[in-house]
Amino acid sequence: MTVLERYNAALTEESKREASLAAEAAKKGDARTQSIHLMKASMLGDMLKVLGRVEHEGKRPNALETLIGSFSEEAERQRKLGDYDASDRAEQKAITVQFALDALREAERDGE
């Protein structure tokens, strides 16, 4: 299995987990938590798979780190504005991208 195949498999697995958590939240009537888990599941699809690929191939070095920084800055900005929901969403996005970065680094360490 190649680096990118391992990376994509890890993201697919995590996306399924997030979708399952969204379904559990929906059963409990927790629309906000459901929405956050669906957002994370969606990010773990094509968006982060493509960004991980272009980073791995060297086409866009540090793409994932840059995105983490951007979401972290947005979280802090929203927190200062008092919009804690938007801050939490941006923070959850940063956490999701960090998961992807960690999965990519792990796949790269394991080699092709």
| pLDDT score at 111 | 75
| pLDDT score at 112 | 60
> For the residues 89-110, what does the mean pLDDT come to?
97
Answer whether residue 67 shows pLDDT above 80: yes
How many angstroms separate the Cα of 3 from the Cα of each of 35, 43, 57, 105? 31, 20, 10, 9
Q: What percent of the chain has pLDDT over 70?
A: 99
How many angstroms separate the Cα of 91 from the Cα of each of 27, 33, 71? 25, 14, 6
Contacts of 50 (CB under 8 A, 6+ apart): none
Contacts of 68 (CB under 8 A, 6+ apart): 94, 97, 98, 101
